[in-house]
Amino acid sequence: MSVRPRPGAEVPVLTAQMARASNPAGTTAMWVRDRLDGLWRDEDFADWYPRDGRPGLSPAQLATVSVLQFLLGLSDRDAAEAVRCRIDFKYALGLELDDPGFHHSVLTDFRDRLLRDGRADRLLDLTLARL
């Protein structure tokens, strides 16, 4: 699996409209998007993945899902289901409303990558520098 940076990463218009209409006061997921968007970029994770192979999911999005998972106390299955079903999660990740999401095992794989070679510490340092 390789990383192909996703272009733009803007919230699709319909996703934003539906998220705001259904949650006028916002949600935790919407707050994370509105205040922390751009905290991670796919390029920050490029050395975690091989250069060739089929494109993987956006590691910046997976990092955001991991943060939301922690904040909301969700299991991997529940977090993957939220990405598939919840409009506010689609908003947070900049996904179209019909995006099918991903299998919950992707979060385990992402955490496994995070645990290698001090990557978690480097990601935290990068996060703190950007904040």
Query: pLDDT (tens digit, 9 = 90+) per residue, 56-108?
Result: 688 889 999 999 999 999 999 999 999 999 999 999 999 999 999 999 999 99
Q: Note the pTM of the prediction, 2 decimals.
A: 0.85
pLDDT at 51 over 90: no
**Residue 6's pLDDT band (boundaries 50, 70, 90)?**
low
CA proximity to 90, closest of 6, 26, 16: 16
pLDDT digits 0-9 by tens, 11-50: 999 999 999 999 999 999 999 999 888 788 888 887 787 7
